[in-house]
Amino acid sequence: MHVRMLTGGIAAACLASLSLTAGQAAAAAPRAADTPLAARVLTYDASGSAEFKSAVNRGAAIWNESVDAVELRPVAAGQRANIRVLADNGWPRALPTTLGNGTVYIGRQAVGQGYDTIRISSHELGHILGLPDRKPGPCSSLMSGSTAGISCTNPYPNAAEKAEVEGNFGGVLAERVPAGRAEVIVD
């Protein structure tokens, strides 16, 4: 039996090598990595964001200016959005369900204390894009959130935050958060 398996293996190897030398060589197709990947489009619904709708739209535009791997677009009528944005009287927070999906609350409590609405919107959308809080932190870090103080109005992600989002969406499919494990990120 050992001899039969050995000779069968040799015969298979000979046939494989013969097929490689007998056929005509063909050029390999160009690698897909040579062409840029299309951005993953995520839709957002800001219809429930009340007086913060323009700040939400600006926060989404800032992410679109800052990264290539993902694009945030307003949801079309009759479609279901990846991201819902709501206004409430509490503190701003994000409830991601999967990468690129979830609910953002633009809380009036922080706005009433003097925090910038566009920075809040951009920061909370950053959570939906997979970024954690980085507290305490400087104003140059969008994800430092409220620890940068009310005088900080910077709504732009820094180079590390941009790179992390690019890595999160660079050809990677969203992973589902296990049931009952949705993370609430309160800023």
* 65 in active site: no
The residue from 124, 164, 175, 183 that is catalytic is: 124
Concatenated DSSP letters of the chain: -HHHHHHHHHHHHHHHHHHHHHSPP-PPPPPGGGSPPPPEEEEEEEEE-GGGHHHHHHHHHHHHHH-SSEEEEEPPTTPPPSEEEEEESS--EEEEEETTEEEEEEEHHHHHTT--HHHHHHHHHHHHTTPPP--S--TT-GGGGGGG-TT----S--HHHHHHHHHHHSSPPPPBPPTT-PPPEE-
Looking at the annotation, which residues are catalytic?
124
